[in-house]
Amino acid sequence: MKSFLTEIKDRFGDGNYEGDQFGGANGHNGNGLPTGLPNNFMFATGIECSYPTIDNGKTRRDLLAECDHYNRYKEDLGLVKEMGLKVLRYGLPYYKIQQGPGKYDWEFADLAMAEMQRLGITPILDLMHFGVPDWLGNFQNPELVVHFADYCEQVAKRYPWVRYYTPVNEIYVTAKMSAKDGIWNEQLKSDKAFVTALKHCVAASIMGTQQIAKQRPDCVIVQSESAEFTHELRAAHTSAVQLENLLRFTSLDLLYAHHPEGEVLNYLYDNGLTRREYDWFMAGEPPGYQVMGNDYYGRNEKIMLPNGETVVSMDVLGWYNITHDYYQRYQKPVMHTETNVLEVAEGPTWLWKQWVNILRMRKEGVPVLGFTWYSLIDQIDWDKGLATKTGTVNPCGLYDLDRKPRPVADAYKMLLQEYGQITIVPHGELFEVTDRPATLKVEV
């Protein structure tokens, strides 16, 4: 099998790493969050759009279909407006749109995007969310990198008014669920398969971002990643669990050209990452204004008991402490890009708890630029990670599947009324609000 670097060379030629070797317009080196949103703080929701395959590729889980968004997209987008929200994390169904090399079906995408534009909603456009088109197979395929880059280019050309993107959603989770835990897509359970999926997803994000930036040099890249942590309650910690707590950073390490710890690098080399590939990742950051999105659900945080049993810990460290570790590592402006809770009655309290985390983070000088309740409407089967198709409704949305408001919707409206004028002014020392594009840098 070819390396993804060979695929890139064949498609784009030599010297095509057009990232930013100096850290990018990340808000820390004087090039701050661009203008374009009132008050610059992004209050958002999202429409759940996962589409992995299960059953060895025989069954496609398309949450846009299962939650009836294809038929009710106008109603759903109207609910975003009704909530008083101006920003929406929105995923186009990649697996349906790119039907082959150079072949696209834009019918639904054009309808949804036109409606968002009509309503004045600013999308953070999610271009790959846990799955790929059938003809590409899965995340083990190195050709994914170049075909996805072509797709990103076509999206940016077709919707030139879009500025905010998440090229590949939750890269670490995508690779782990597909190639380490054996639940989605290729359904493999090996370290080598995990590393292969990870490097292909990161490379796809980098090359996709390059193509977006060529069309939209002032693009804002909100890289959504899961904020994970496992507490090991053993007097003598095991190397496996400690390695896992380092591997959670690996996708962002490769994406942001941050050298990982030695044991992580050895793990990557032992499981298929070549030195040439590693050097390519470390050459520089992708272009664009880089915002580090951290997703936090209480179930992301786990406790391993002395007997080896793992239980969900729900908010021991919380979003603040876990995300602060990510911020210290990468020095990127932050957005809380996903959160919810699966119990209806706990929704409002969970919303306020997340907001307390954000206020605390901002008080300490960390530039938090946005918050997202995910998602707008209830989801299906996420209590079991989409592993089996049973149709269980997860009542975590601002609205239920009949599009009736949940109690958390009223809580969010109250939050918006109280804090809707929040700005980034407290972090003026880190930001220069500017219209200057985040340009591509020299080839490396």
* pLDDT by position in tens, the chain (length 444): 789 999 998 888 765 556 654 334 433 333 344 444 545 789 999 999 999 999 999 999 999 999 999 999 999 999 999 999 999 999 999 999 999 999 999 999 999 999 999 999 999 999 999 999 999 999 999 999 999 999 999 999 999 999 999 999 999 999 999 999 999 999 999 999 999 999 999 999 999 999 999 999 989 999 999 998 999 999 989 999 999 999 999 999 999 999 999 999 999 999 999 999 999 999 999 998 899 999 999 888 999 999 989 998 888 999 999 999 999 999 999 999 999 999 999 999 999 999 999 999 998 888 899 999 999 999 999 999 999 999 999 999 999 999 999 999 999 999 999 988 766 544 433 334 445 555 443 333
What radius of gyration, in Å, describes the C-alpha atoms of the chain? 20
Using CA atoms of 419, 425, 429, 430 in order, give the dihedral in degrees to the nearest 10.
60
Q: Which pLDDT value is given to residue 432? A: 42
pTM for this predicted structure: 0.92
Write the CB contacts of 313 (distance below 8 Å, at least 6 apart in sequence).
231, 298, 301, 302, 303
Closest CA to 261 of 340, 41, 269: 269
258: tokens are 């941050």
Six token digits for residue 386:
């989409």
pLDDT at 438: 52
Among the listed residues 198, 199, 203, 178, the one whose alpha carbon sits nearest the alpha carbon of residue 189: 178
Among 246, 251, 252, which residue's Cα sits nearest to residue 198? 251
DSSP-derived 3-state class of residue 370: strand
At 193 the pLDDT is 98
Query: What was the pLDDT predicted at 379?
Result: 98
Q: How far apart are CA 304 and CA 311, in angstroms?
A: 6
What pLDDT is recorded for position 430?
38
The burial class, CB within 10 Å (0-12 / 13-18 / 19+), for 379 is: buried
